[in-house]
Structure 1
C-alpha cells in the first residue's frame, strides 16, 4: 500500500476545523485533525507547502518512521503549528491502519484497558446560583464528573462562562476581543462556588475547575489550599507552564490534584513536571502533541510516575480528535478522565461518527479505524471564517494570560 494523495479541508460548521485526508492506492483513506484555534491557516500552509509533498509514495503503515521523518527531518522542531501538522498525518495513518486491518484503532494500541471512558462536562453560570443549577442539569444528563466555572462579581466576563444563552465558545469572529481580569476577586470568589456545589450535591459527583493559566504559583497554592475541603478531582492549568519550577511551589502547599498540559506539544514540555511528580494529570491532546505515536510515549513515561491522562477535548478540536482521544483513553493503562464538550449539531452532521455517550462514560465504537468520516459536500457549505481567542488584561490595563 502506498500514499497517493493528501488533501486539506477547512470548514466552519459553527467554528473552524482543519481536516487532513490521506488517500492510498488501495482506495482506503484516513482522516486527521489539524485544528489550531485562532491559527488554523498557519497549519494549512505547513501541511500543503511542506508536509504533503513528502508523503506521496510512502507506506502508510510505517507510522514511527514517518513521524520521525516529519519531526527530525525538518530540523526546526516542536511548536504548535509543526506538531498539529504532524498529528494530523499520524492520526490519518493510524486510521488507515485500522481500516486496512478491519479493526478499531484501540486494538492497535493494545486493546481495551477498560469498558468505557469516564468524561467530564462543562457547567457554568454568570452567578454561583446559575452555576450550581447547571451542575445539576449535567448530573441529570448522567455525567459523573463536572467542571464548574462561574462569573466573578466585579468582572464583566470571565473564562468558561458564555455570553447570553448560547453554548460556550471562546473563539470569536473578527479581531480579538478584550476582557478584564482580577486574580484578587477570583481568589475570593471561587471557594464559595465549590462550597455551594458540595452543599447541593454532596460528595458523589467529581468536581473539576479550570484556572486557565491565570495565577502566580503562590496565588495558585492559596487557591488549592482553599479548595481542599471540597475534594476536587483536579485544579486545571493553575499557572503558566513556561516556568515549570513554579509547580514545585504549588505542589508543596496543597494536596488538591493538579492537571496541566493542553498547550504542550512534546514530552519535553512535561518532562520535569512528570518525573518530579509536580502534577497528577497530563492534559496534552492528540492533535497538539504529534498524534498517537508521540502521545503514547508521553503516557507511558507518565505511567512510571503515577501521573494519569486527561486529554484536552474542547470544541476547538473536531470529532476526529474526540474519536482519537477515546480510542487512546480506552486503551492506555494510566487513563484518568476525558474532557467532553458536545459539538454543535452542524459539526456532528459534517463529521458523522461511531462514538457515543452513556451514563457518564463515552465509547469509541467498534468501527474499523477511528470510526469518523467527513461529509465533504456538506463541509463546503461552511467556509472558513477568521476567528480569534480573546485577549485578557488586568483591571489596570496590563496584558495578562487569557
Structure 2
C-alpha cells in the first residue's frame, strides 16, 4: 500500500478550517485537522510546498516512521506551523489504519479505558446575572462541568464573553480587534462572580475558569487563593507558560488546581511543568502538538506524575480533531475532562461525525477510523475568510499578553 495523493482543503463554514485528506493506491483515505487559528494559510502552504511532496509513495501504515521523518528529519523542528502540519498527517494515517483494521482508533491505541468522556461547556455573560443564567442553562442541558466567564465592570469588552447571550465565536472576521485590559479590575471582580454562582447552584457541578494568560505569577497566586472557597475544577492559563518555573510560585500559594497547555507544540513545552507536578491538567491539543503519536507520549509522561488530560476543544478545532480527541480520551488512562464548544450547524454538515453529546458526556459508536468525514462539495462553497483572535492592550495603550 502506498500514499498516492494528499490534498489540503481550506473552508470557512462560519470559521476557517484546514483539512488534510491522504489517499492511498487502494482507495482507502484518511482525514486530519491542520487548523491553526489566525495562521491557517501558513499551515496549508507548509503542507503543500514542504511536506506532501516528501510523502507520496510511502507506506501509510508506517505511522511512527513517517512521524519521525517529518520531525527528526527536518532541520527546523517544532513551532506551531510545523507541528500542526505533522499532526494533520498523523491523524489521517491513524484514520487510514483504523479503516484498514475495521476498528475505531481507540481500539488501535489499546481499547477503551472508559465508556464516555466528561466534558465542560462555556457559560458566559456580560455581567454576573447573565453568567449565572448561562450556568443554569448549561445545567438544564445536562452539563456536569461548566467554565464560567463574565464581563468586568469598567472594561468595554472581555475575551471569552460574547456580544450576545449564548455561544460565541472566538475569532472575528477581518484584522485583529483590540480590547482593553485591567488586571486590578479583573481580580476584584472574579471571586465575587464565583461566590454568586456557588450561591445559585451549590457545589455539585464542577466549575472552571480561564484567565487567558493575563496574570503575572503572583497575581495568579492571589486569584487561585481567592477562589479556593469555591472549589474550582481548575484555573486555566493563569500566566504565560514559556517560563515553566513561574508555576512554582503559583503552586506555593494556592491549592486551586492548575491547567495549561493549549498553545503548546511538544512535550518539551510542558516537560518541567509535568515532571515537577506544577500543574494538574495538561491542555495540549492533538492538532497543535504533532498528532496522536506525539500527544500519546505527552499523556504517558503526564500519567507518571499524576497529571491528567484536559484537552482544548474550542471551535478552532475542526470536528476532525474533535473526533481524534474523543478516540484518544476513550483510551487515555489519565483522561481528566474534554472541553466542548459546539460547532455551528453548517460546520457539522461539512464534517459529519459520529461523536455526540449525551447528558454531560461525549460518546461515540464502534466505527472504523476516527469516525468523521468531509463533504468536499459543501466545503468548496465556503472559501477562506481572514479572521483573528483579539489583541489585548492595557489602559495606557501598551500591549499585554493575549
Q: Equivalents in 2 of 1:76, 1:166: separation in Å?
A: 42
8 Å Cα contact 1:113-1:333 kept in structure 2: yes
Q: Equivalents in 1 of 2:163, 2:396: separation in Å?
A: 23
1:170-319 aligned at under 5 Å gives the runs 170-319=170-319
Aligned to 1:378: 378
Deviations 1:136-176 (A, max 9, x none): 00000000000000000000010110113463112111111
Aligned to 1:6: 6
Aligned to 2:324: 324
Q: Equivalents in 2 of 1:166, 1:55: separation in Å?
A: 43
Aligned to 2:111: 111
8 Å Cα contact 1:356-1:365 kept in structure 2: no
TM-score, normalised with respect to structure 1: 0.99
Is 1:121 aligned to residue 121 of structure 2?
A: yes
Aligned to 1:343: 343
8 Å Cα contact 1:106-1:112 kept in structure 2: yes
Aligned to 2:40: 40
Deviations 1:330-362 (A, max 9, x none): 101000000000000000000000111101110
Quick check: 121-130 or 359-368, which moved more? 359-368
Is 1:163 aligned to residue 159 of structure 2?
A: no
8 Å Cα contact 2:83-2:290 kept in structure 1: yes
Q: Equivalents in 2 of 1:395, 1:365: separation in Å?
A: 51
Deviations 1:212-255 (A, max 9, x none): 10000000000000000000000000000111111000001000
8 Å Cα contact 1:113-1:332 kept in structure 2: yes
Aligned to 1:18: 18
Ranges in structure 2 where 5+ consecutive residues have no aligned partner: none
1:5-154 aligned at under 5 Å gives the runs 5-154=5-154
Runs of 4+ displaced beyond 4 Å? none
Aligned to 1:352: 352
Deviations 1:63-96 (A, max 9, x none): 1100000001111000000000000000000000
Deviations 1:24-82 (A, max 9, x none): 01100000000000000000000000000011111111111000000011110000000
Pairwise CA RMSD: 0.7
TM-score, normalised with respect to structure 2: 0.99
Deviations 1:165-218 (A, max 9, x none): 463112111111100000000000000010011001111100000001000000
8 Å Cα contact 2:134-2:166 kept in structure 1: no
SS at match of 1:107: helix
Q: Equivalents in 2 of 1:67, 1:153: separation in Å?
A: 48
Ranges in structure 1 where 5+ consecutive residues have no aligned partner: none
